[in-house]
Chains A and B, each alone.
Chain A
Amino acid sequence: MQKIVIIGNGVAGITAARHIRKLSDDEITVISGETDHFFSRTALMYIYMGHMEYEHTKPYEDWFWDKNKINLKRAWVKSIDFDQKQIQFDGSEAMAYDKLILATGSQSNFFGWPGQDLQGVQGLYSYQDLALMEQNTKDVDRAVILGGGLIGVEMAEMLHSRHIPVTYLIREEHFWGNMLPKEEATLIDNHLNKNGIDLRQETELEEILGDGNGKVKAVKTKSGEIIDCQFVGLTVGVHPNIDLVKDSKVNTDRGILVDENLQTNVPDVYAIGDCAQLKNPPSHRRPIEAVWYVGRMMGETVARTVTGKETKYQPGVWFNSAKFFDIEYQNYGIVLPECPEDSGAFYWECDDKEKCIKIIYKKETNEVQGVNLFGIRNRHEVWNKWLTEKKTLNYIISNLPEANFDPEFFTHWEGEIQKKYNGEFPENQVSVRKKGFLEKIFA
């Protein structure tokens, strides 16, 4: 029986712990300074908005850990002695390990703007950040959010729920412009405007101004405009949290460097989740992928390696999802903001400007590379199969209804999508077969 210590009780660390328990009787300890129990970071916004309470965001009941003999320890790790195989807490307390899994997550970026330490200026990552935001947003007449990414739009929605007017500064031409192609990004821009968010594209921050008492009073943009505000949300991305190991013998770059087995250069030390950086990522994936699913998948995989079944981390087809106010977003495969030279893009947008689909395909072979869906739900399973089997655009458009995952009775848009396709590709007509009434019932 070996002693496995996991630093970080986020999705990566906890998934690893659960799967190790399924596979072995090893002694497992999970350490975190943030909260006593695992909670869903992705649900932080819903606590603030009153959709849920903190308790609801815990995926497992509190008795679960004892029952599965997973020790939880609430503490901050100060340092690690890799030669003695020991981790050091505050004070003189220490803990020995046989195998160590680092799952320390990310930290919010602060780019050293003047005034970023003023009261009322913050990022949003941890449970503590949420508590701080609760305090910081009392009696606020206007808030400014900086950074057009997913956490930024969540923050906008949070503030919106408290009727705090939001000015949203974005460096790019459009919301999430470094990830989304222009058409989709414009659709979200419109939706944000519709929800009363004062969106300022191509606007950069110069400095944050204080009121003389250490509190934020306004922000100043590069063009010299001054926007009065009492709260500033800095959501300009996150970076791997490598504080614990950056000056140690563990190799790091932006993240903690790991091989295919998620192992660092130091024996018996592994890194997973947001903090890990793959030395040799598969061609269809990036070296650092700070998303929930990757943390989960790495946790599932590393559990096998540390319990003796060496297993390579082989993520499948990339997928992701998000929600922008009322518009849901799903993505399967690769859709870059700029369509590559050798590829074409098929785009359909609904008249209500709230739904669209973008399919990227290789011009030569017609093989589909990826899809973005807004306001329409599609099946992960079907797209996964299509993309692995390298189906052609023509095939996918004809079979699109198979992928639909919208609730019953929702309007189906596949017919319109196919009509548009037939207009653009007259040489490759596809036909839409409508399901009969009984067929619908009996699927």
Chain B
Amino acid sequence: MKAIRYTGLILFLFSLGLFLSSFFMSSFTLSEETFTSIIKEEHQESLKPALDKVFDKKYSSSIPFVNAINSTVDEVNANARSEQKWDKVIYDDYAGSLARASARGFVPNNKLLVFILIYVVGAIGALMFLLPQIKLHGPPGIKHNHIFHNALNNRGWMGILTGVLLIGFYILLYFYPAYITNWIIVVDPLQKLINPSASSSQWFLYGFLYTFAVLVMGVRMILKYRHSKYQIFRTCSVMFFQLAFAFLIPEILVRLNQPYFDFKNMWPLDYDFFDAWHINTLTQSGGLGLFMFVWGITLFAVGVPVFVYIFGKRWYCSWVCGCGGLAETAGDPFRQLSDKSTEAWQIERLIIHGVLVFAIVMTGLVLYNFFGGDFYISFNKWMVLGIVALLGGGLYFYHRKKYVAMSGIKVRNTVAGIVGFFALGIVFSEVSVFAKYMPVDGSNFSFSSGNIRTVYGFMIGSIFSGVVGTGFYPLMGNRVWCRFGCPLAAYLGLVQRFKSRFRITTNGGQCISCGNCSTYCEMGIDVRAYAQRGQNIVRSSCVGCGVCSAVCPRGVLNLENRDEDGRFNQPILLGNDSISVSN
């Protein structure tokens, strides 16, 4: 058994190593034919002479090649600008498509082989590592031994390394996709299998890796919690929705010449739903497109309140959603890292509701624009920073009064976080790759109905949900995005808190305050604080993963959809007839 596990581990590490090193496994040579077939005609004239030094030169990896292309385009643009020939400035991003067409050598020549070696062998290795647990870890049950002794699960060197790799991957994916051309090429055979006329993009790669992670780690989750049917069903459900709804169906729709559409995603998580191009695509794609448009609106306008009323937000967050799906499978080893402090809860409410407001305002402006309105406002960016710093300072004093003894360092962190967010905005506006997403105009922040959507997409869609949301799994737990950032979660949560039948029932006086429930709550809910008082847990952030109930050694917690009236203000049974208390 152990031998199988180690062999599996070796296979998996081999695949991971191959994945990482395949980054360097091809050379890049730009030919003139490639150039003429890819570059738009109006740009050929100015670019061709400038790229002369690049043609037919062999670059050993994507990095120097992409740099050469980008710096050449920058040069050309700088010239055009200095000559005030604004129409000659090139805004197209050619590096990716040129790199794609110019890759030579091992990876492009052996796509299928590399694909098999990385993904098929990797999956087999992972399964060989996981399956023997059934025998080795003893009878089914909670097996959390040594989680806090482990360098991966407790922010040790392995955790930090994993975090760095994930963050690096997201930054490359969102902002430097041309560099990861080799990785994109490797998944092309699969793309062709699903849709022969397409070729893989960075988003196909991302969707595939995401699904791969959900499936492989989903198997792990099922094995780990095989004594709990709730966990088994739930995990199968997220695996199914990720594979079918998020990955396959949209690709098949494209193959059938229909719009790309994920039927389980919804506004405001799906923040481009109301973008002009999206509304136009759907409404102009015939019956199915129109259905998609109506479906998308019904889902958040009717589906959310109705289903949250009946089941709680869990029907979405831990049974259907893709972000939730990844968190519950690939993220499960990190669930214990969420911060349970009251202060984290305060920060959480501040940020997540802030994002919800941001999403609504942004969508409002986008629609305003869509219907012909225009909006423009501009602030000095240093003034914004100043105001935020002042507000932060106020918050600091407010907190100091409220929690005399709450450690000062933590409060300062809050303030630093908020000021830092805006300061980051200013820093981003100074960095060239990011500047294009920022609403900067000289020393002003200038918001218009057009660019506010870009800011949202960059700050929330890419940085928060991607780089921070997933990259920080091994550092801050697996639900960073769902807990602090997701506007849909905020919306579902408000319904869950105020109008729902869902609650976690506490079993009378049985709690021994051991803390397992709080420790393993991925949303950082201090479950024990309620359980030890005999109170039901009714919290907007609870995604109903059911793990608190599973890990409780005394059978104290149960997720239930029951009569709404029983949630609050009920007499509590604590086993003590001397006193009476209520919820």
Please encode chain B, from 493 to 530, with 1 for each CB lying within 8 Å of some chain A CB and 0 for all others: 00000000100010111101111101100000000110
Chain B CB within 10 Å, residue with most, of A59, A301, A328: A59
Chain A: minimal CB distance from B319 (Å): 12
Residue of B nearest to A407 (CB): B230
Contact B510 A380 (CB under 8 A): yes
Contact B230 A297 (CB under 8 A): no
A-B contact number at CB 8 A: 190
Partner of B579, one of A63, A300, A322, A411: A300
Please encode chain A, from 50 to 71, with 1 for each CB lying within 8 Å of some chain B CB and 0 for all others: 1111001111011111110000
User: Which of B171-179, B387-395, B555-563 sits within the interface?
Assistant: B555-563
Contact A40 B514 (CB under 8 A): yes
Q: Dominant SS at the B interface?
A: loop
B132-153, CB < 8 A from A: 138-142, 144-150
Chain B: minimal CB distance from A165 (Å): 14
Chain A: minimal CB distance from B575 (Å): 5
Contact B573 A442 (CB under 8 A): no
Chain B: minimal CB distance from A104 (Å): 19
User: Which of A94-102, A226-234, A310-318 sits within the interface?
Assistant: A310-318
For the complex, what is the distance from the CA of A46 to the CA of B551, rounded to whole Å?
Answer: 12
User: Given A381-B573, A443-B563 in contact, is the A408-B149 Cβ separation under 8 Å?
Assistant: no
Contact B562 A443 (CB under 8 A): yes
Contact B407 A63 (CB under 8 A): yes
Whether, in the assembled complex, B576 has its beta carbon less than 8 Å from a beta carbon of chain A, the answer is yes
Contact A326 B141 (CB under 8 A): yes
A414-430, CB < 8 A from B: none
Q: How large is the interface on B (under 10, 10 to 19, 20 to 34, 35 or more residues)?
A: 35 or more
Whether, in the assembled complex, B574 has its beta carbon less than 8 Å from a beta carbon of chain A, the answer is yes
A337-381, CB < 8 A from B: 377, 379-381
Chain B: minimal CB distance from A440 (Å): 9
Chain B: minimal CB distance from A5 (Å): 21
B317-342, CB < 8 A from A: 341-342
User: Given A40-B514, A50-B150, A63-B407 in contact, is the A328-B555 Cβ separation under 8 Å?
Assistant: yes
Q: Which residues of B contact A146 (CB under 8 A)?
A: none
Contact A325 B508 (CB under 8 A): no
Partner of A50, one of B144, B404, B513: B144
Whether, in the assembled complex, B229 has its beta carbon less than 8 Å from a beta carbon of chain A, the answer is yes
Chain A: minimal CB distance from B170 (Å): 29
Contact A297 B148 (CB under 8 A): no
Whether, in the assembled complex, B384 has its beta carbon less than 8 Å from a beta carbon of chain A, the answer is no
Q: Which residues of A contact B561 (CB under 8 A)?
A: 441-443
Q: Which residues of B contact A52 (CB under 8 A)?
A: 148, 514-516, 519
Residue of B nearest to A309 (CB): B579
Chain B: minimal CB distance from A330 (Å): 6
Whether, in the assembled complex, B406 has its beta carbon less than 8 Å from a beta carbon of chain A, the answer is yes
Contact A65 B553 (CB under 8 A): no
Whether, in the assembled complex, B565 has its beta carbon less than 8 Å from a beta carbon of chain A, the answer is no
Contact B406 A443 (CB under 8 A): no
Q: Which residues of A contact B310 (CB under 8 A)?
A: 441-442
Q: Which residues of A contact B403 (CB under 8 A)?
A: 63, 67
Contact B139 A326 (CB under 8 A): yes
Contact A410 B573 (CB under 8 A): no
For the complex, what is the distance from the CA of A316 to the CA of B515, rounded to whole Å?
Answer: 25
For the complex, what is the distance from the CA of A312 to the CA of B549, rounded to whole Å?
Answer: 34
Contact A407 B228 (CB under 8 A): yes
Contact B516 A51 (CB under 8 A): yes
Partner of B513, one of A292, A321, A406, A443: A292
Residue of B nearest to A14 (CB): B513
Contact A380 B150 (CB under 8 A): no
Q: Which residues of A contact B563 (CB under 8 A)?
A: 443
Contact A195 B139 (CB under 8 A): yes
Whether, in the assembled complex, A435 has its beta carbon less than 8 Å from a beta carbon of chain B, the answer is no
For the complex, what is the distance from the CA of A42 to the CA of B560, rounded to whole Å?
Answer: 27
Q: Which residues of B contact A61 (CB under 8 A)?
A: 341-342, 406
Q: Which residues of A contact B553 (CB under 8 A)?
A: 323, 328
Whether, in the assembled complex, A131 has its beta carbon less than 8 Å from a beta carbon of chain B, the answer is no
Please encode chain A, from 370 to 413, with 1 for each CB lying within 8 Å of some chain B CB and 0 for all others: 00000001011100100000000000000000000111111100
For the complex, what is the distance from the CA of A9 to the CA of B494, rounded to whole Å?
Answer: 38
Partner of A330, one of B227, B514, B555, B577: B555
Contact A405 B141 (CB under 8 A): no
Whether, in the assembled complex, B3 has its beta carbon less than 8 Å from a beta carbon of chain A, the answer is no
B522-581, CB < 8 A from A: 528-529, 532, 546, 549-550, 553-555, 558-563, 573-579
Whether, in the assembled complex, A248 has its beta carbon less than 8 Å from a beta carbon of chain B, the answer is no
Whether, in the assembled complex, B203 has its beta carbon less than 8 Å from a beta carbon of chain A, the answer is no
Contact A315 B577 (CB under 8 A): yes
Whether, in the assembled complex, B302 has its beta carbon less than 8 Å from a beta carbon of chain A, the answer is no
Chain A: minimal CB distance from B519 (Å): 5
Q: Which residues of A contact B140 (CB under 8 A)?
A: 326
Please encode chain A, from 103 to 133, with 1 for each CB lying within 8 Å of some chain B CB and 0 for all others: 0000000000000000000000000000000
Q: Which residues of B contact A322 (CB under 8 A)?
A: 554
Q: Which residues of A contact B576 (CB under 8 A)?
A: 296-297, 300-301, 314-316
Whether, in the assembled complex, B233 has its beta carbon less than 8 Å from a beta carbon of chain A, the answer is yes
Contact A443 B560 (CB under 8 A): yes
For the complex, what is the distance from the CA of A326 to the CA of B228, rounded to whole Å?
Answer: 12
Partner of B528, one of A59, A316, A326, A410: A59
Contact B509 A313 (CB under 8 A): no
Contact A59 B532 (CB under 8 A): yes
Whether, in the assembled complex, B405 has its beta carbon less than 8 Å from a beta carbon of chain A, the answer is yes
Contact B229 A409 (CB under 8 A): yes
Q: Which residues of A contact B227 (CB under 8 A)?
A: 326
User: Given A380-B508, A408-B230 in contact, is the A56-B560 Cβ separation under 8 Å?
Assistant: no
Contact A40 B515 (CB under 8 A): yes
For the complex, what is the distance from the CA of A196 to the CA of B501, rounded to whole Å?
Answer: 44
Residue of A nearest to B571 (CB): A381
Residue of A nearest to B563 (CB): A443
Whether, in the assembled complex, A304 has its beta carbon less than 8 Å from a beta carbon of chain B, the answer is yes
For the complex, what is the distance from the CA of A56 to the CA of B515, rounded to whole Å?
Answer: 6
User: Given A50-B147, A408-B230, A410-B229 in contact, is the A57-B514 Cβ separation under 8 Å?
Assistant: yes
Contact B404 A67 (CB under 8 A): yes
For the complex, what is the distance from the CA of A441 to the CA of B306, rounded to whole Å?
Answer: 13
Residue of A nearest to B534 (CB): A380
B189-236, CB < 8 A from A: 227-230, 233
Residue of A nearest to B549 (CB): A407
Q: Which residues of B contact A292 (CB under 8 A)?
A: 512-513
User: Given A301-B579, A314-B577, A443-B560 in contact, is the A40-B510 Cβ separation under 8 Å?
Assistant: no
Contact A321 B575 (CB under 8 A): no
Contact B529 A67 (CB under 8 A): no
Please encode chain B, from 228 to 250, with 1 for each CB lying within 8 Å of some chain A CB and 0 for all others: 11100100000000000000000
Contact A194 B139 (CB under 8 A): yes
Whether, in the assembled complex, A161 has its beta carbon less than 8 Å from a beta carbon of chain B, the answer is yes
Contact B575 A50 (CB under 8 A): no
Chain B: minimal CB distance from A332 (Å): 9
Q: Which residues of A contact B150 (CB under 8 A)?
A: 50
For the complex, what is the distance from the CA of A57 to the CA of B516, rounded to whole Å?
Answer: 8
Contact B405 A377 (CB under 8 A): no
Contact B516 A410 (CB under 8 A): no
Chain B CB within 10 Å, residue with most, of A46, A195, A196: A46
21 contacts between A and B (CB under 8 A): A49-B145, A51-B516, A52-B514, A56-B515, A59-B515, A62-B407, A64-B405, A161-B146, A292-B512, A293-B510, A293-B512, A315-B576, A315-B577, A322-B554, A326-B140, A330-B554, A380-B509, A407-B228, A407-B546, A407-B550, A443-B501
In order of increasing CB-CB distance, the 5 nearest A-B pairs are A380-B508, A66-B405, A326-B141, A377-B555, A63-B405
Query: Residues of A with Cβ closer than 8 Å to B?
Result: 11, 40, 42-43, 46, 49-53, 56-59, 61-67, 161, 191, 194-196, 292-293, 296-297, 300-301, 304, 311-317, 319, 321-323, 325-326, 328, 330, 377, 379-381, 384, 405-411, 441-443
Besides A194-B139, A380-B575, A410-B230, 16 other CB < 8 A contacts?
A: A43-B514, A50-B146, A50-B149, A62-B405, A314-B577, A315-B576, A316-B577, A319-B509, A321-B555, A325-B138, A325-B139, A379-B507, A407-B550, A408-B229, A408-B559, A441-B310
